[in-house]
Amino acid sequence: MTHHEHPDAAVVRRGYAAFTAGDMETLASLMTSDCTHHSPGESQMSGHFKGRDNVLAHYGKLAELTRGTFRVELKDVYPDGRGHAMSVHTWHADKGDRGIEMDGGLFFTLIGGKISDIDECVADITESDAFWGTE
């Protein structure tokens, strides 16, 4: 059986690859200018980051707070063929004297082959909030 990847899934995979490589130029090219990333919880990393530049700054803060240890291992991407794709992954990071490993996922809305909205989910919001803290 041959696996034919849906174009929306391919965009999401390219985004993960660019994020992992630190290639923010490619990542930016995959987003609409008004892209929004919604992060759950009540930590300093929670909230609604509207606009491609703010989304990229949010990702930069992940790297800054973890001194470059933040990484994501993509498990799979599931498109619905109607402009949405869901990814599942495990993320890892170290911050201060604490490390974390947690499953999570992103729900993407794509318009015209570009990511316009990202809703983030994590396995344990309370633990994620404790890791990121409030400042």
pLDDT digits (tens, 9 = 90+) for 49-96: 999 999 999 999 999 999 999 999 999 999 999 999 999 999 999 999
Give the tokens for residue 40: 């759950």
The pTM score is 0.94
Cβ neighbors of 40 (< 8 A, separation 6 or more) are 46, 120, 121, 122, 125, 128
Q: How confident is the model at residue 135 (pLDDT cuts 50, 70, 90)?
A: confident
Domains with residue ranges and CATH for the chain:
7-132 (3.10.450.50)
Position 1 scores a pLDDT of 44
- Mean pLDDT estimate for the chain: 96
pLDDT tens track for 63-72: 999 999 999 9
Whether the CB-CB separation of 114 and 120 falls below 8 Å is answered with: no
pLDDT above 90 (res 37)? yes
Q: What's the alpha-carbon Rg for the chain, to the nearest Å?
A: 15
> What pLDDT digit, counting tens, does each position of 2-36 carry?
578 999 999 999 999 999 999 999 999 999 999 99
Three-state helix/strand/coil letters over 59-98: HHHHHHHCCCCCEEEEEEEEECCCCEEEEEEEEEEEECCE
